Amino acid sequence: MGISRLFRTLLVLAVATMAMMSATAPAAAQAGLAGQPVALCFARVQAGDTPAKMLVSPARFDCKTRQTKLGSGDFWAWSPRLPNSVRQGEAVALRSGILWQNSVTAYGLYKDGKIVRDSAPDATLANHIQLGGIIEHRMPGRDAILTSLLWRIDGSANLRGILMGARVATPKESLRANMLMAAMYGGFAGMCVALLIYNFAMWVALRHHFQLLYCAMVLTLLVYAFSSSGAILWAWPDLSGATRLRVNYFALGLSAASAVIFARTFFEERVFRGWLNPAVKLVCGLLLLGACTFAALAPWRVDLLNYLFSFSFIAMLALVPFILGRALIERSNYLWVFCLAWAMPVVFAGIRVANNLNYFRWSFWVDNSTILAMMSEALLSSMAIVYRLRLLSAERDDARVKELAARALADIDPLTGLLNRRAFLRQAIGREGEQILLVADIDHFKVVNETIGHDGGDEVLRLVARALRASIPDDALLARIGGEEFAIVAHAGRNVDAESVLARLRTERMPFDLVVTASIGSCSGPLLTENDWKHLYHRADRALYDAKSEGRDRARRGVVVPVSA
């Protein structure tokens, strides 16, 4: 199976995997909020309020106004009716999403008038946190059935609600939800660790910057998953819920910034020419500023900090079409694979921003969609890296072939295919041992050109080159060093015979059966330095002149140059 076919197969499998994960995601999300939803009504806390008083004061509660319209502060949340799944003698788990608040206390009113209290202060939230960022309160099973539920929420920032996604579940449903969420988060963490190790090892071997930035992106995603799941409070029980949310925001902003920088290095340099390059830097700066400011200052003016954080993501989303448009204009090789890998994260980032700004109601599925989107991004981006490495490898191989071809063209005489003078001298000078140099010159070549034209003369030069190559050993050097002048260098022990060369040349059939002969001058000696070449060539050229003077079509041998000590 070829590399291209193998890559396409792996890509199809990756997409199929993500499609199956997306199809099963809603079920996993509902598992995160196990049990049956309960309707809620809200009332502001007033002086003298007690749980017993509020449980018998339904007129105080607003059941119609949307939570986010009620502002910040301290609130009571009351459920006017419970699901039929609540049974006498069974414990009840009250599950809701974690928010910016100082504490949440749950009260359960039983049919015998008994009120049971379970408080979850922000400073000790680890005792109540469940996977998926869920706060869980437990109402014990009693002989009397549970008839009404009440929550007191102190210090609610009410950014996305006062008490989100309240549900009533059995302990078994809660356990099953934790196991399913553990599988989802554990799978994501395992994938991140594997991709991190693999791509870091690839960076150590290949040193492409985008590989290291991909590792940084995956690492920040891993930190985000650790904080958003709530597992960070299991690892460090002394952390408050507010600290967990600050880490969550910071990791999310940092992962977004690293993703933008990764995209910047993943595409070709030409895609980010002009204003787009500083725009990318500006967006990354906004993302880091929003994340760091939120982490450092929250819960001070947490509403303003949340808007700043959301605006940085809007800027990032606004930049995406320009990057894709420029990549399309520049005919980027990586546009299609980038779109495939980043389509899901970009879409869900837009949904999360809209949800963060309260354009639609809170949903556990939307709140945890980031993990699935990140899983898609990490997996398919890794496939995109494989694709890019494949293209880089092909580009490198092509460049090497072109470089070798360019070197060959620079060293080869284009007419005869022999070495040119520069390449010949580079290879000849420095040969060890005694060498023999033959300098051959075609007789009356001017007449040849006048008789059959320059095109015919060129053909004669090619045929002479072929005859010379056929008459010398394979390890001998042969070059065209002038217009009709050729040079041969061979080890003296190879017994290169000038007369045999001339005899081979006489048998070569020429255009129009023209008789073409040559004269040869030879000399032997050392060829270690440029001075050796000058001495050897001078004596061979002198012997060539003698051959010409004595009637041409013959060979003469010059004075042997003594071997250097």
- Catalytic positions, written as ranges: 484
Say which DSSP state 68 is in: G
Which residues lie closer than 8 Å to 330 by C-beta, 6 or more apart? 268, 270, 271
Tokens of 416: 């005869």
Residue 539 CA, distance from chain mean position: 64
The arrangement of strands across the sheet holding 477-480 comes to 477-480, 485-491, 431-442, 518-527, 555-557
Q: How far apart are CA 171 and CA 51, in angstroms?
A: 25
Calculate the alpha carbon distances from 201 to 187, 208, 217, 388, 557 in Å. 21, 11, 15, 16, 64
Instruction: State the Cα–Cα distance between residues 50 and 131, nearest whole angstrom.
Output: 32
Burial class (CB in 10 A: 0-12, 13-18, 19+), 154: middle
- DSSP secondary structure of 387-433: HHHHHHHHHHHHHHHHHHHHHHHHHB-TTT-SB-HHHHHHHHTTEEE
- The whole-angstrom separation of Cα 30 and Cα 47 is 38
Q: How far apart are alpha carbons 195 and 199 in whole angstroms?
A: 6
Q: What is the CB-side half-sphere exposure of residue 375 using CA atoms within 13 A? A: 23
The DSSP annotation for 6-39 comes to HHHHHHHHHHHHHHHHHHHHHHHHHHHT-SEE--
Task: Give 440's strand partners.
Answer: 486, 520
CB count within 10 Å of CB 469 equals: 17
Do the strands 431-442 and 103-110 form a parallel or antiparallel pair, or are they unpaired? unpaired
Contact 92, 187 (CB under 8 A): no
